[in-house]
Amino acid sequence: MKIKNIAIVGGTHGNEFTGIYLIKKLRSGQFQDSWDDLNVDLIIANPKAYEKSIRFVDDDLNRAFLNADLANLELSGYEANRAKVINQKIGLKDAPKTDLIIDLHTTTANMGVSIILLEENAFNLQMAAYIQKKVADSYIYSCSGSLDHPFLASLAPYGFILEVGPIPNGVVRQDIFDKTKDTLDVAFEFITLANSGNIPERNGTIEVFKHKKSVEFPRDQDGHINAIIHSNLQDKDYQPINKGDPLFVTLDGGIITYEEDETLYPVFINEAAYYTSDMAFDLTEKVILNIE
Amino acid sequence: MKIKNIAIVGGTHGNEFTGIYLIKKLRSGQFQDSWDDLNVDLIIANPKAYEKSIRFVDDDLNRAFLNADLANLELSGYEANRAKVINQKIGLKDAPKTDLIIDLHTTTANMGVSIILLEENAFNLQMAAYIQKKVADSYIYSCSGSLDHPFLASLAPYGFILEVGPIPNGVVRQDIFDKTKDTLDVAFEFITLANSGNIPERNGTIEVFKHKKSVEFPRDQDGHINAIIHSNLQDKDYQPINKGDPLFVTLDGGIITYEEDETLYPVFINEAAYYTSDMAFDLTEKVILNIE
């Protein structure tokens, strides 16, 4: 198997500027020497949301790629149409002409460099392991398990969603920009090695954080969020939560603790985009996978 | 002179959640014991923008308080009307029934606790000096000099805009929330002391950063921003910039340096809200003022 057709996508969320700036840099010809004879599409996925510096215009574009929604012409919002157009361009989802997608995101959470996998196939795991070895403060976060993902990156069988943080929405920081660029470079290094049959020797296991569930903010009687992420939890993405650990401080000064027996690992702690759905963070379990 | 009528305002920008959460906490009766017989209005200034987690609906509410605009019925956007309503409630600007306003903001810039003064009157300078002595990582930033300010806080003769950062828009962090609350508590401590004639002895001078000018992002031929704040400058609010210091790295790899002879002090470095006006940061000069 050789990777030939690649899409690098920025601005799937219009207020995550880092990927958009990187696409602009790549379009101006930077870095491309090392890409040899790969076909690389450089896509700004949601230009209208970028123009307004908002996540989306009508609906979250990165939830618009379910097969049923792509086939449903009744869904006619900006992102519903845009998803269909992007599927035509780099999909089709059920018959992909693109081998590999890297979808560039940022988060307000302290998630370092997070490689989010939608499929735990051997190529993806090897690529993630390679990146993790070369990129500081990087984590592998798996959302595999669903037959049909709503994410843009699900249009191709290989690749990942790259989440780099913490960074506010609507700004670019050189440190986060450089981490994103460096990770992309390492991914291409791996792809080039893999295409030539020269994947370097590696450790036989990797640590993967597997998505388990979401945790909501506490709410008052009117349904409004009435608590703040506890300072002990803030910025502690990928660090274990044990029974009794504080999760929230409520506006009236109470503390809400973690009450389950199972040790889990939070991610997307205090991600701005999740407030609208009252989501405070996600919980993952840490597993060790063999790669071969 | 006694301070009697006070307005504490949150959510002048709808995506700066900290002030809104603090107003909610104060409304639920927290902290108010120490306020004695002060009349305190607790206002969420832009609830519609908060609902959408955006800075404003039609126009920036915190630029809507010029006398001419408050008098102009032709200006009929959401914020233009809201400014008139708030002016009726806690103004009038030209005949204020409110003595003192504290308008709670946050910034994506690393500005710590910034006390922004619109008027350098003796009471404001004394209050700022008192806060600075008691609150860690606090700065006094003066925007005085204009006869007519467009800011909400200009509706009263005393008070300040409180900017606390860094924090992304659309989230609350306990550390930033606590700093905001603590600063508010210290301000009320000062007001209570001042009203009883017991302002404590203090140093006779304070360091004030006076607004000088704004610096724009570099742009390409199409007018789009094509550079990033240099990592040497990022997060260095209130630290001196000297001739030759790097300001930006352009997308093609160039470095743009500061070319003026005068040492100045940047603030609002990489503030998300300023991207729409292509503004990268503001520059201030540091002055020493006598307080008496």
pLDDT digits (tens, 9 = 90+) for A217-275: 999 888 889 999 999 999 999 999 999 999 999 999 899 999 999 999 999 999 999 99
- Percentage of chain B lying above the pLDDT 90 cut: 85
Cβ neighbours of A21 in B, within 8 Å? 228, 251
Under the banding of pLDDT at 50, 70 and 90, the label for residue B278 is confident
A53/B28 CB distance under 8 A: no
Cβ-in-10-Å burial (0-12, 13-18, 19+) of A185 comes to middle
Contacts of residues B65-69 at CB distance under 8 Å and 24 or more positions apart, as own/partner, are B65/B93, B65/B149, B65/B150, B65/B151, B65/B152, B65/B154, B65/B155, B66/B148, B66/B149, B66/B150, B67/B93, B67/B94, B67/B148, B68/B148, B69/B150
In this structure, which CATH number among 2.20.25.160, 3.40.50.620, 3.30.70.1450, 3.40.50.1820 belongs to the domain A207-290?
2.20.25.160
- Of A39-48, A231-240, B146-155, the least confident: B146-155
Stretch A87-112: mean pLDDT: 95
Give chain B's length: 292
Residue A152: its pLDDT value, please? 98
Q: Which residue has the higher pLDDT, B221 or A72?
A: A72
Minimum-distance CB partner of A249 among B174, B230, B275: B174
- Of A8-17, A259-268, B88-97, the least confident: B88-97
Under the banding of pLDDT at 50, 70 and 90, the label for residue B229 is very high
Residue B29: its pLDDT value, please? 78
Q: Which residue has the higher pLDDT, A33 or A147?
A: A147
pTM for the whole structure? 0.95
Could you check whether A5-202 and A207-290 share the same CATH topology? no
The answer to whether A3 and A159 are in contact (CB under 8 A) is: no
Give Cα A147 distance to the centre of its chain: 18
CA-to-CA distance for A157 and A124, rounded, in angstroms?
A: 9
HEC string of B8-37 equals EEECCCCCCHHHHHHHHHHHCCCCHHHHCC
Cβ neighbours of B106 in A, within 8 Å? none
Between chain A and chain B, how many beta carbons pairs sit less than 8 Å apart? 102
Q: Is B81 on the interface with A (CB under 8 A)?
A: no
Name, in order, each residue with C-beta under 8 angstroms of A222's C-beta and a sequence gap of 6 or more.
none
- Of A45-49, A66-70, A97-101, B91-95, the least confident: B91-95
A251/B275 CB distance under 8 A: no
Residue A134: its pLDDT value, please? 96
B275/A53 CB distance under 8 A: yes
Residue A277: its pLDDT value, please? 86
Residue B79: its pLDDT value, please? 98
Q: Which two tokens stand for residue A109?
A: 């959470």
Q: How far is B123 from chain A (nearest CA, A)?
A: 32
Stretch A19-32: mean pLDDT: 86
Cβ-in-10-Å burial (0-12, 13-18, 19+) of B288 comes to exposed
The pLDDT tens digits for A270-290 are 999 999 888 999 999 999 998
Stretch A19-26: mean pLDDT: 96
Cα dist. B275→A104, B37, B68 in Å?
20, 43, 27
A53/B228 CB distance under 8 A: no
ipTM > 0.85 for the complex: yes
A168/B173 CB distance under 8 A: no
Minimum-distance CB partner of B272 among A171, A230, A273: A171
Residue A22: its pLDDT value, please? 97
Q: Angle A103-A108-A112 (CA atoms, 0-180°, nearest 5)?
A: 65
Q: Which residue has the higher pLDDT, B72 or A145?
A: B72
- For the domain made up of B215-280, the CATH class stated in words is mainly beta
Stretch B276-284: mean pLDDT: 94
Minimum-distance CB partner of B53 among A230, A252, A275: A275
Stretch B146-157: mean pLDDT: 93
Residue B203: its pLDDT value, please? 64
Residue A198: its pLDDT value, please? 84
Residue A37: its pLDDT value, please? 81
State yes or no: pLDDT of A116 exceeds 70: yes
Residue B285: its pLDDT value, please? 98
CA-to-CA distance for A152 and A87, rounded, in angstroms?
A: 8
State the helix-helix crossing angle for B17-27 and B174-195, rounded to 10 degrees.
60
The pLDDT tens digits for A121-171 are 999 999 999 999 999 999 999 998 877 999 999 999 999 999 999 999 999
Name the one residue in this structure whose structure tokens are 């915190």.
B62
Cα dist. B82→B23, B60, B150, B153, B169 in Å?
18, 11, 14, 14, 22
Residue A54: its pLDDT value, please? 95
In this structure, which CATH number among 3.40.630.10, 3.90.1300.10, 1.10.3720.10, 3.50.50.60 belongs to the domain A5-202?
3.40.630.10
Under the banding of pLDDT at 50, 70 and 90, the label for residue A33 is low
Stretch B184-195: mean pLDDT: 94
Stretch B169-196: mean pLDDT: 96
Q: Is B277 on the interface with A (CB under 8 A)?
A: no
Stretch A85-111: mean pLDDT: 95
Residues 227-246 of A with CB under 8 A from B: 228-231, 234
Under the banding of pLDDT at 50, 70 and 90, the label for residue A29 is confident
Report the mean per-residue pLDDT for chain B.
94
Residue A273: its pLDDT value, please? 96
Stretch A39-68: mean pLDDT: 96
Report the mean per-residue pLDDT for chain A.
94
Q: Which residue has the higher pLDDT, B74 or B204?
A: B74
Q: Is B276 on the interface with A (CB under 8 A)?
A: yes
State yes or no: pLDDT of A31 exceeds 70: no
Residue A137: its pLDDT value, please? 98
Residue A180: its pLDDT value, please? 98
Q: Which residue has the higher pLDDT, A292 or B39?
A: B39
Q: Where are the domains of chain A?
A: 5-202, 207-290
Minimum-distance CB partner of B252 among A28, A229, A231: A28
